[in-house]
Structure 1
Amino acid sequence: MLRFAHIDFLYGLAAIPVFIILFLVVSRWKKKAVASLGDKNVVREMMPHVSFSRPWLKFIFFILAYAMVIVGLSDPQLGSKTEEVKRKGADLMILLDVSNSMLAQDLAPNRLENAKQAIAQLIDKMHDDRIGIIVFAGQAYVQLPITTDYSAAKLFLSTINTNMVPTQGTAIGAAIDLGMQSFDFKNGTGKAMVIITDGENHEDNAVEAAKNARAKDVAVSVVGVGSANGAPIPIITDGRQTGFHTDSTGQQVISKLSEDMCKDISSAGGGVYVRANNSNSGLDIVMDQIGKMQRKMYDSKTYKDFEDRFQFFLAIAFALLLIEFFISNRKNMRLSGLKLFEVKKP
């Protein structure tokens, strides 16, 4: 099994497109500058030592080396074998709202990203408990089945966005029902759900679904994200904000936290309700309650004897940078003077 000890370093790969764009811009500017001097062939004769292809070759080696450094810093590790281990824990299912209203920015940077950061911090604190993730909008989907693989949980969490559920809405009840189907009730461990939402439920009877979960000893808690005053919902196109959602009259749609709905769900589910803000995600309070759940021994397969592989990537990066360093921007006149395939006229 492959895992990354410092997976956050992989975000550094996002700089590669920026480097490419900058290089293309500079190359285009140089090309225009050379063209302004006169005829291309005459200019080439005036600058016989200048190579127009070697900068591209040096840049390719640089990009490859940079990518290897980033991967090396993330410390890829390979698990050599698995073993059966006994764990004592409980099962926790996170139900995360990914409807468009979660893009509202009354929590920084927005409701969804704020919730994802809080979940990532929660995962870092977990030990033997199992965690799963369900995303929902107009429909609900299992993003991550119940697992003790916290590295995989953070990786799946990082990919969550509002585009992954095609049907808009906030079907909290469907998410609760799907969470109940995802639990293994035969293992006897304590079970709980944490719903992270702005509470704008318009699809189903979430309170009834929470009651059904409580009847099977599954506590349903709710973390409300958003504010009572609300905020407009941004329109994101190709990663950029291009405006705000409006209603049929042209007025901006203001998304507000529906605390009454959140409180009704948590009350019916036998859990707690906490309102998140910029300084407190509310998950710590919820986890204090979940910490009281019954924990039982269960079997789990886990990888062990993970071995670091960062040194291979850093060695490759060093070799690529060494090659790039010795590639000159100027032509080698001795080599360029060799005309091995020129046919001499008699």
Structure 2
Amino acid sequence: MLRFAHTEYLWGLLLIPAFILLFIVVSRWKTKAVKSLGDRGVVNQMIPDVSFSRPWLKFILFTIAFGLLVIGAADPQLGSRMEEEKRKSADLMILLDVSNSMLSQDLAPNRLESAKRALAQLIDNLHGDRIGLIVFAGDAYVQMPVTTDYSAAKLFLNTINTNMVPTQGTAIGAAIDLGIKSFDFKNGTGKAMIIITDGENHEDDAVAAAKDAADKDVSVHVIGVGSPGGAPIPIYQNGKQVGFHTDSAGHTIMSKLDENMGKEIAAAGNGAYVRATNANSGLGIVMSQIDKIQRKTVDTKSFKDFEDRFQFLLAIAFLLLVIEFFISNRKSQRLSNLKLFEVKKI
């Protein structure tokens, strides 16, 4: 298993395209400057020792060395010892509302982004529990089935936006039903759902769906995002806000948190209801309730010891820089004197 101790250093690789662009610009400028002096053949005779290919070789060596230095600074590590261990595991399904109302800004920067940040922190604190993601608006879709691959979970989480579900609305019941279908009830682990929504359910009977989940020993918890007073729903075009949604009379639509709906769903699902704020996402309270569910002990394998491998990359980078340093921009006189391809006149 490969990992990097300092992944933030890998951002330095973004400098390589800038180096390439700068080198190409400078090379073209030099070529134009040489052409402005006159005929290329005459100019080459005036500066016979100048090589036009060696700067490219030097640049390639420098670029490769720089890339290796950056990767080496990030400290790549390889897992050297795998160990089996027993962990208590539960299955957790996140149901995230991605309807347009989740763009309202009564939570900073908006309801959806606030929820995604809280979920990212939750994933960072998971140890052994499996997690899945379902997104819903007018319809519900499995974004990621239950897994212990937390890195993948965060990648999927980052891609979530309000354009993922073409049908607008808030079908909480459909999302709960899909969550039940996504669980493996044969593995014997405790199961729970966390619904993150503003509670404006207009599509189905979410309370009945939550009761059905509870009957299958799946607890349903609800985190309400937004404010009872409500906030307008912004409209974006090309990434810029251009106004707010209005009704047929031209009045600005206010999206209000429906706490009664959230409480009813949680009560029917034998779960907890928490209202999220800018200071508290509510996930901590919900997870304290989920920690009480039955967990199954499972055998897992993980790497325990990691060995640094940056030394090899730095050594190769240093060697390339030394070679680059000793390569002259001038032609080799010995090679030039060989004239291997010169045709002799008889």
Q: TM-score, normalised by structure 2?
A: 0.74
Other-structure match for 1:195: 195
Other-structure match for 1:331: 329
Other-structure match for 1:270: 270
- 1:284 deviates by 0.7
* 1:263 alignment partner, SS class: helix
Segments of structure 2 that go 5 or more residues without pairing to the other structure are none
* 2:176 alignment partner, SS class: helix
Q: Is it true that 1:299 corresponds to 2:298 in the alignment?
A: yes
Change (3 A) 1:66 1:205: farther
Change (3 A) 1:7 1:244: farther
* 1: CA distance, partners of 2:59 / 2:162: 35
* 2: CA distance, partners of 1:164 / 1:3: 34
Other-structure match for 1:232: 234
The answer (yes or no) to whether the contact 1:139–1:165 under 8 Å persists in 2 is no
The answer (yes or no) to whether the contact 2:136–2:165 under 8 Å persists in 1 is no
Other-structure match for 2:36: 39
Change (3 A) 1:37 1:88: closer
* 2:153 alignment partner, SS class: helix
Change (3 A) 1:268 1:234: farther
Q: Is it true that 1:319 corresponds to 2:291 in the alignment?
A: no
Residues 147-162 of structure 1 mapped to structure 2, 5 A cutoff: 147-158=147-158, 160-162=159-161
- 1:283 deviates by 0.7
Q: TM-score, normalised by structure 1?
A: 0.74
* 1:280 alignment partner, SS class: coil
1:230-281: CA deviation from partner (whole Å, max 9, x where unpaired): 451434x4xxx24447658797976735333433332332322223233322
The answer (yes or no) to whether the contact 1:137–1:168 under 8 Å persists in 2 is yes
1:118-161: CA deviation from partner (whole Å, max 9, x where unpaired): 22222232224332222334433333333334444344434x32
Q: Is it true that 1:341 corresponds to 2:328 in the alignment?
A: no
Residues 140-219 of structure 1 mapped to structure 2, 5 A cutoff: 140-158=140-158, 160-162=159-161, 165-169=164-168, 170-219=170-219
Alignment-mate amino acid for residue 234 of structure 2: P
Q: How many pairs were matched up?
A: 334
Other-structure match for 1:28: 25
* 2: CA distance, partners of 1:4 / 1:254: 48
Alignment-mate amino acid for residue 299 of structure 1: V
The answer (yes or no) to whether the contact 1:133–1:144 under 8 Å persists in 2 is yes
Change (3 A) 1:6 1:344: same
* 2:195 alignment partner, SS class: strand
1:12-32: CA deviation from partner (whole Å, max 9, x where unpaired): 27x62x642464257436745
1:257-315: CA deviation from partner (whole Å, max 9, x where unpaired): 533343333233232222323332211111122222233x333443445644x51x552
Change (3 A) 1:324 1:69: closer
The answer (yes or no) to whether the contact 2:171–2:203 under 8 Å persists in 1 is yes
Name which one, 1 or 2, has greater alpha-carbon Rg: 2
The answer (yes or no) to whether the contact 1:224–1:262 under 8 Å persists in 2 is yes
The answer (yes or no) to whether the contact 2:3–2:76 under 8 Å persists in 1 is yes
The answer (yes or no) to whether the contact 2:173–2:204 under 8 Å persists in 1 is yes
Other-structure match for 1:256: 255
Change (3 A) 1:325 1:189: same
- 1:218 deviates by 1.7
Percent of pairs with identical residues: 48
* 2: CA distance, partners of 1:271 / 1:5: 39
Alignment-mate amino acid for residue 236 of structure 2: P
* 1: CA distance, partners of 2:271 / 2:130: 19
* 1: CA distance, partners of 2:321 / 2:250: 56
* 2:121 alignment partner, SS class: helix
Change (3 A) 1:51 1:138: farther
The answer (yes or no) to whether the contact 1:106–1:231 under 8 Å persists in 2 is no
Q: Is the deviation greater in 225-234 or in 269-278?
A: 225-234
Segments of structure 1 that go 5 or more residues without pairing to the other structure are none
Q: CA RMSD in A?
A: 4.1
Alignment-mate amino acid for residue 184 of structure 1: D
Residues 48-63 of structure 1 mapped to structure 2, 5 A cutoff: 57=57, 60-61=60-61
